[in-house]
Amino acid sequence: MGTARPIEIARLGEPRIASPLTLSTAIGDGIGNFVPDRARVRFQAEIGTGIDDPDLLFEKAGPRERLFFEPAKTRAAIATCGGLCPGLNNVIRSAVLELHHNYGVPEILGIRYGYQGLNPAAAHPPVALTPDFVEDIHKDGGSVLGSSRGPQPVQAMVDYLAAANIQVLLLVGGDGTQRGAHEIAAEIRKRKLAISVIGIPKTIDNDIMYVRRSFGFVTAIEEAKKVFDCAHNESKGVPYGIGLVKVMGRESGFIAAVATIASQEVNFCFVPEVTMRLDGAKGFLDVLKNRMLARNHAVIVVAEGAGQELMPSAPAETDASGNRKHQDIGVFLKQRIESYFEAERIPVSVKYIDPSYTIRSVAANSDDSLLCDSYARNAVHAAMAGKTDALIGFWNACFMHVPIAMAVESKSRVSPESDLWNGVIAATGQPRTWG
Amino acid sequence: MGTARPIEIARLGEPRIASPLTLSTAIGDGIGNFVPDRARVRFQAEIGTGIDDPDLLFEKAGPRERLFFEPAKTRAAIATCGGLCPGLNNVIRSAVLELHHNYGVPEILGIRYGYQGLNPAAAHPPVALTPDFVEDIHKDGGSVLGSSRGPQPVQAMVDYLAAANIQVLLLVGGDGTQRGAHEIAAEIRKRKLAISVIGIPKTIDNDIMYVRRSFGFVTAIEEAKKVFDCAHNESKGVPYGIGLVKVMGRESGFIAAVATIASQEVNFCFVPEVTMRLDGAKGFLDVLKNRMLARNHAVIVVAEGAGQELMPSAPAETDASGNRKHQDIGVFLKQRIESYFEAERIPVSVKYIDPSYTIRSVAANSDDSLLCDSYARNAVHAAMAGKTDALIGFWNACFMHVPIAMAVESKSRVSPESDLWNGVIAATGQPRTWG
Amino acid sequence: MGTARPIEIARLGEPRIASPLTLSTAIGDGIGNFVPDRARVRFQAEIGTGIDDPDLLFEKAGPRERLFFEPAKTRAAIATCGGLCPGLNNVIRSAVLELHHNYGVPEILGIRYGYQGLNPAAAHPPVALTPDFVEDIHKDGGSVLGSSRGPQPVQAMVDYLAAANIQVLLLVGGDGTQRGAHEIAAEIRKRKLAISVIGIPKTIDNDIMYVRRSFGFVTAIEEAKKVFDCAHNESKGVPYGIGLVKVMGRESGFIAAVATIASQEVNFCFVPEVTMRLDGAKGFLDVLKNRMLARNHAVIVVAEGAGQELMPSAPAETDASGNRKHQDIGVFLKQRIESYFEAERIPVSVKYIDPSYTIRSVAANSDDSLLCDSYARNAVHAAMAGKTDALIGFWNACFMHVPIAMAVESKSRVSPESDLWNGVIAATGQPRTWG
Amino acid sequence: MGTARPIEIARLGEPRIASPLTLSTAIGDGIGNFVPDRARVRFQAEIGTGIDDPDLLFEKAGPRERLFFEPAKTRAAIATCGGLCPGLNNVIRSAVLELHHNYGVPEILGIRYGYQGLNPAAAHPPVALTPDFVEDIHKDGGSVLGSSRGPQPVQAMVDYLAAANIQVLLLVGGDGTQRGAHEIAAEIRKRKLAISVIGIPKTIDNDIMYVRRSFGFVTAIEEAKKVFDCAHNESKGVPYGIGLVKVMGRESGFIAAVATIASQEVNFCFVPEVTMRLDGAKGFLDVLKNRMLARNHAVIVVAEGAGQELMPSAPAETDASGNRKHQDIGVFLKQRIESYFEAERIPVSVKYIDPSYTIRSVAANSDDSLLCDSYARNAVHAAMAGKTDALIGFWNACFMHVPIAMAVESKSRVSPESDLWNGVIAATGQPRTWG
């Protein structure tokens, strides 16, 4: 394996308890297998392209033959943090079913409203999660536990975990959440507590490192695509109609880019990763004018984090999750388009659509349902084996363990040199650069 | 039939041409029937309730044995006016197929962008509508002809109709459009031209008189209901979450009311027909506070025309269709809710959704597809028989001819004493009156 | 009202109890109204067509100011009988919510598996229906109570009703079920018991008299239409492809006819009401051959009760509901088409689809959800007022009371002279008669 | 890269023509990149699990800087073969758009009805594929070109390709089709013709080697899941109800297994890869009986190729594609269940559903639309660069070139030791082995 670098995962101690799962260690006996700790997932799949991924070897996720926690004496908890995302209830459900039916963990707490539920000061007591409670929850969007943005005091949360005698903590959330998970794990380590903290990546923007596809993303694409098709109909429904849609994507434009290719009705797609220029010859407004004169209508998709540099500077603000607050590029763009065409005396009609809440609160589709099931069960396996401070990654079709600190170092972005962006260029016919 | 009042329809002259349709005049021969001009649809169905409808008798719509226009020499035209609505393409398609295949009308013009296309000054020449052209258009939302709001000079339009040698003009639109249709018909009468003007009612608000159900309405309800369910998930997804959805309904709250019953997830529904009070004991904000304290979340639906009296007066404005422009009750309500709860120190999180464009630009569902087919074919029958200045109405499961002037006299409204509003009260549990 | 015939409804006795519903008897006070017993719904809406409906006056359904049963002492029960239909759970839910929240009825029993649950010999004890139990059931297809076909001994069922102290019995089912309901009501009358029996019409075929639209029908159409579109794709996907779909419709072809118009992709539609001829010049196989040679593909839709006369006679059989069992026209037609074209040496490929179970077991769409809500609440109103042996009818957009015996006298059929069938002829281009 | 084995791809000759694509060879200039021929995709991602994939290095697919064919003089053709699959029209569309807009290939032929269209004897002349022709085809299921099963004489097809002056042939189909493609490529090589043959893998069963996910698969899962939910409703809708669904999967049970996990409503799932036993203690019928007595209902999913060994032997038959014809396990199982429970005097009601045609003929969902776009564009890139006898593979999130002969050596199967099958066991609770 040459110079490939193995990535190690923290663990609470030696796993000595025999797993109750009815799996085998033999290949070829027709029985599903425990995953040995030595099993690795290679990160690098492309070689010789000039932009090859680093040659890393992650621990393969999956059920271990030996557990750190004795199931019958284990108390588990799960929380969902940050914005809604399709599939949260599927993750909760599969984690509960795996803990209860397969491991025999007797008690599972549902932490209410994200990190708030770990802070007794917020006064949201947990609910007991049972197979009956979760039976049908995957049919609904949202989260039965609720969620919230932003951190809570680490000391208070670890005090609570210790007092509530929780050994397994599953935290479903984005990079802000996972930074919090890492701090909790560090405090647990400092206090020498035996509590496993496992992160399940949740990002509707699909921008977490070492996570090829986060759950909810393809469901969001399906919904976004429907909206783009509506914007197309609106744009063609009036003289000089322009359909303008703002979608999620603070720092990464995956939703905008992928849904643009899926829809094939979009004429201009803007993402944070590609610089936007409005003015001047071959600037966007000029190109848009030419299209409007030639074709009478246009559909524009803009990720919320695109074009921030165009807007008058505002005091730096962050939301409760610590994300930089953006000025609203959608509203800004609508106004700029309208004033530009007014000056050009072309009577455009801009239909502006912001579908964010309706994209993220629907139930997961089938493909995401599967992904949720795997993320959740692998998180349970990792926790029961005593892994900690680890995120469940997904790469090269394998689930794997990623140190949380490593996963939150940076974010996935849409490379303007990628096949994905080539697909956007092909689908829209837009120029690669503006101005 | 006692004192029932028959409603007469204008006609261009005596119909003397034998219809080419393969129908019969005999009942019981197993062949579909021509509708005799004496056939009537009774408007009044309820008796003795205290609010009985007037006892009117409308002409039943349908194919006539005798035509006024000779099909082989007829040139027809169709235009779609006003905002988009699911089913416009179905209407266009069925009208074209009926004219072409069943009547043998050789040429059908698709007028572009509503009334603009009838005014040569706007320079939108018509397209030729053929069975090939319309083959698959019903699968898409929007209108292949485009639409526009607002009137055009009647003289110019009638000049165009005469010059283009158009005998049959089908106008798909709301009450503004139909008022225009009535003026066109009056001018045609004045000039003694033989041009039939037939209106097809289009109102996503379902508020045209003598039209029990306008096409596109149930499709819009289906879409609105999905949004309400999303708002419900959003409201439960955060501590003190409020989902606030604004839907269409300038003067009539049918979409808000009907989709509220369909969803069963809405807690408060506001329509223009019921006075809204925000302040004071038992005002909305007080009632909402009690709910938030008891249940932690709420879903609020507001029709765009509700609560206008609450907002600071603005100069009277109308849009291009002549509709009174409303201030945005959705944005206003969001702000009032946020400032109220800030003062009450309850940290609510309001998720505001305005889904109007995505509700109205989808393709018609099956039930609306049927309705479109019938409206379109009955409009063709009426026109070919020489009826004019008439709207296709739909009442007591029958299609019928309504003088346009009569149809635009007033609008359908949601009565707060109706079964419909009782259903809203039952579904939401909200009080009947505020404050 | 001339010679219009009022239709009287049986009642258990004088209603003397004041209704707890917060409605008024005054028109114009902005409060929803009690419906007076004198309020009538006129059946006849068309006049002078030659096939005018009879001039009947039904009691308008709705909440009565005076009740026969004292809510606090009333025990209600509901059962779903016969085949599945979209909306059963919505009906159950709305009945429970109306009884519990609006009337204050303390106990509502859910009878399991249709009439079986009323016969203690079948050993299916009822479940207690509470607002919590029914909260989310409308999101699922099927029936949470289960259903079954066929009668049970009337004596045993009335014994059970009396022993279980049930005063209100709501029976959701088709004409077989309603015949049973009528027998139960007759036995109750004979025994002088104070038990109200109210029928809610359930027929996915939409063939119950005095019921313009039964719940679940438009949902079924939506699903059937999707299947027809699939059959269209299948037929075009191979050389000489034929898509053949069998849909429900034992004696009435409404699903086949309506979904054919909704789809616009069907080339031949067969219903029980129109005689089918396969052989000979201008018989179906001959016409089909001409189409296959001209266009290479075809879509055929056949209602299960069509063409029964074509099949070799089998011993008369009935299913458990007493419906005449049909031989399978779909399979028969597939074989006849295949053998015919084999003889003609045209290599057709017939794709046969029978989607019945997937059409009837989906959740109700929005439009059906509304209908279910109204049927259920009106049934509760009728029962609480002491009406009995009555079916909730729906005509001219009004809900009304129909004596069950009158409703089951015959069935609605697709008239080959109707607008509906004209729409099928227009959509398919098929001849009106065969052979 | 140690002992990793590079897999070489046949090519027609040295590519010397500069590509017209506006891509760059520099990394970091913000412009999408040509893919160098040395770029490789590593097949092996898992290491140390005991069942590691072989360490192969495939050529990475993508646009090449140098082409073999001069676009302006190239004539391309595309055919779709075998059964329908969601996404065929998307593949056709993206291939046409890439050839026409990006490469400037002036003429693209749509071969009708699969291999039949390459054999003049079948008399299906090709259609000209233009951007206008393909504009909206991706919105429909099926294939606008039609398809057919089975081979045609290789000599005749190569004669046709040469005579029609076709240089680029894209063949969309399963392993039978790809075997044919390999034979065509061999004959072309023998005749020293300069015709590139590139395969695009199409298998709704997702069972082609080196293809992690074939297009249409997740769409099929979504549809299958809906059917399973219907079967669940049907099973609960009657006393002792059993919903039995047969899905596609001749030799590989991916659809059955994946949709079972997605649905979470299935109790028993049978695939060809796991031996089925019906009789005896702990045989399926015995286990089913226990479930029926405990829970009253069950949902069973069976792949068409499962349990073949259970059925009375029939003469070996193959369909036109050369696939072994299966006896109908669905019908067989239905009969065995019914006779077993009749003997046990338990009155089960089996609802049997075969949704194959409706699963495979719907339009592709968003996620599949993307996949189709990439498969098609990469096939065009490969062909223009002069690669031949190659299939577009997809592994570790990369598209790559696979020698067709290598791809058709065997099939992907569901391993009973895989995470996938573990997911099925967890979702159903069924035993790992029968009897």
**CB pair distance less than 8 Å for B365 and C417:** no
Q: How many residues does chain B have?
A: 435
Q: What is the ipTM of this complex?
A: 0.95
**Cα–Cα separations (whole angstroms), residue A257 to A213, A298, A305, A414, D417:** 14, 17, 13, 8, 37
Of A140, A237, A361, Cβ closest to residue B147: A237
Structural domains in chain D, sorted by start: 5-214+362-407 (3.40.50.450), 218-360+417-428 (3.40.50.460)
Chain C residues with beta carbon closer than 8 angstroms to that of D142: 232-234, 236-237
Q: Which of B422, B424, B425, B433 to mutate to test the interface with C (most CBs of C within 10 A)?
A: B422
Of A141, A148, A354, Cβ closest to residue B238: A148
Residues D205, D207, D373, D389: which is the catalytic one? D205
Residues B175, B205, B286, B389: which is the catalytic one? B205
Given a contact cutoff of 8 angstroms between Cβ atoms, the answer to whether B224 and B356 are in contact is no
A229 to chain B, any CB pair closer than 8 A? The answer is: yes
**The predicted structure's pLDDT at residue A361:** 97
Query: What is the torsion angle, in degrees rounded to the nearest 10, for the CA atoms of residue B118, residue B119, residue B124 and residue B127?
Result: 20
Rounded to whole angstroms, the Cα distance separating C208 from D132 reads 49
Q: At B366, is the pLDDT very low, low, confident or very high (cuts 50, 70, 90)?
A: very high
Which helix (H) or strand (E) covers residue C352, if one does? Answer: strand C349-353
Residue of C nearest to D348 (CA): C148
Mean of pLDDT over chain A: 95
**The predicted structure's pLDDT at residue C324:** 62
Burial of A413 (0-12, 13-18, 19+ CB in 10 A): middle
Residue of B nearest to D136 (CA): B136
Report the alpha-carbon angle C365-C299-C362, nearest 5. 20
Partner chains of B (3+ C-beta pairs under 8 Å):
A, C, D
**The predicted structure's pLDDT at residue D53:** 82
Of C116, C353, C358, Cβ closest to residue D230: C358
A108-130 burial, b at 16+ Cβ within 10 Å, e below that, comes to bbbbbbbbbbbbbebebebeebe
Q: Which of B144, B348, B358 to mutate to test the interface with A (most CBs of A within 10 A)?
A: B358
The shortest C-alpha distance from D148 to chain C (Å) reads 6
Chain B residues with beta carbon closer than 8 angstroms to that of D139: 139-140
> Residue D317 pLDDT > 90, yes or no?
no
B327 to chain A, any CB pair closer than 8 A? The answer is: no
> Residue B318 pLDDT > 80, yes or no?
no
The shortest C-alpha distance from D138 to chain B (Å) reads 12
**CB pair distance less than 8 Å for C353 and D358:** yes
The shortest C-alpha distance from B309 to chain A (Å) reads 26
Partner chains of A (3+ C-beta pairs under 8 Å):
B, C, D
**DSSP string computed for B190-246:** HTT---EEEEEE--TT--BTTBSS-TTHHHHHHHHHHHHHHHHHHHHTSTTEEEEEE
Size of interface A-D (CB pairs under 8 A): 203
Amino acid at B294: A
User: In the numeric block, which tokens belong to residue A208?
Assistant: 């977490």
Partner chains of D (3+ C-beta pairs under 8 Å):
A, B, C
**DSSP string computed for D336-396:** HHHHHHHHTT---EEEEE--HHHHHSSPP-HHHHHHHHHHHHHHHHHHHTTB-SEEEEEET
Rounded to whole angstroms, the Cα distance separating D393 from D383 reads 14
C218 to chain B, any CB pair closer than 8 A? The answer is: yes
Q: Using one digit for the tens of pLDDT, what is the confidence trace for C109-139? A: 999 999 999 999 999 999 999 999 999 999 9
Please tell me the number of Cα atoms within 13 Å of C263 on its side-chain side: 31
Going by their DSSP bridges, the two strands C75-80 and C107-110 should be labelled as parallel
**The predicted structure's pLDDT at residue B312:** 76
Q: Using one digit for the tens of pLDDT, what is the confidence trace for B8-55? A: 999 999 999 999 999 999 999 999 999 999 999 999 999 998 887 889
**The predicted structure's pLDDT at residue C50:** 85
Size of interface A-C (CB pairs under 8 A): 4
Contacts of D73 (CB under 8 A, 6+ apart): none
Q: Using one digit for the tens of pLDDT, what is the confidence trace for D329-367? A: 999 999 999 999 999 999 999 999 999 999 999 999 999
Q: Using one digit for the tens of pLDDT, what is the confidence trace for D242-288? A: 999 999 999 999 999 999 999 999 999 999 999 999 999 999 999 99
Rounded to whole angstroms, the Cα distance separating D194 from D189 reads 8
Residue of D nearest to C362 (CA): D230
Q: Using one digit for the tens of pLDDT, what is the confidence trace for A89-99? A: 999 999 999 99
Q: At B327, is the pLDDT very low, low, confident or very high (cuts 50, 70, 90)?
A: confident
**The predicted structure's pLDDT at residue C346:** 97
Residue of A nearest to B236 (CA): A146
Mean of pLDDT over chain B: 95
A47 to chain D, any CB pair closer than 8 A? The answer is: yes
Q: Using one digit for the tens of pLDDT, what is the confidence trace for B151-173? A: 999 999 999 999 999 999 999 99
Q: Using one digit for the tens of pLDDT, what is the confidence trace for A137-178? A: 999 999 999 999 999 999 999 999 999 999 999 999 999 999
**CB pair distance less than 8 Å for B36 and C49:** yes
Mean of pLDDT over chain D: 95
> Residue D165 pLDDT > 60, yes or no?
yes
Of A113, A141, A234, Cβ closest to residue B233: A141
- List the single range of A2-11, A220-229, A411-420, D306-315 with lowest mean pLDDT: D306-315
> Residue B416 pLDDT > 70, yes or no?
yes
Terminal Cα distance for chain C, rounded: 47
The shortest C-alpha distance from D162 to chain C (Å) reads 25
C139 to chain A, any CB pair closer than 8 A? The answer is: yes
A54 to chain D, any CB pair closer than 8 A? The answer is: no
Q: Using one digit for the tens of pLDDT, what is the confidence trace for A271-324? A: 999 999 999 999 999 999 999 999 999 999 999 999 998 987 655 566 666 666
Which helix (H) or strand (E) covers residue D244, if one does? Answer: strand D241-247
B136 to chain D, any CB pair closer than 8 A? The answer is: yes
**The predicted structure's pLDDT at residue B1:** 41
Of C35, C261, C419, Cβ closest to residue B62: C419
Q: Using one digit for the tens of pLDDT, what is the confidence trace for B181-233? A: 999 999 999 999 999 999 999 999 999 999 999 999 999 999 999 999 999 99
**Cα–Cα separations (whole angstroms), residue D112 to A212, C341, D122, D234:** 38, 22, 10, 41
A3-12 burial, b at 16+ Cβ within 10 Å, e below that, comes to eeeebebbbb
Q: Using one digit for the tens of pLDDT, what is the confidence trace for C300-357? A: 999 999 999 898 765 556 666 666 666 899 999 999 999 999 999 999 999 999 999 9
Please tell me the number of Cα atoms within 13 Å of D104 on its side-chain side: 11
The shortest C-alpha distance from D202 to chain C (Å) reads 15
Given a contact cutoff of 8 angstroms between Cβ atoms, the answer to whether D270 and D307 are in contact is yes
**The predicted structure's pLDDT at residue A332:** 96
Q: Give alpha helix (H) positions in A274-429.
A: 284-295, 329-343, 356-360, 366-384, 404-407, 419-428
Task: Give yes or no: C136 in active site.
Answer: no
**The predicted structure's pLDDT at residue C316:** 59
- Tokens 């946020």, residue located: B338
Chain A residues with beta carbon closer than 8 angstroms to that of B362: 226, 230, 233
Q: Which residues of chain C have pLDDT under 70?
A: 1-2, 313-326
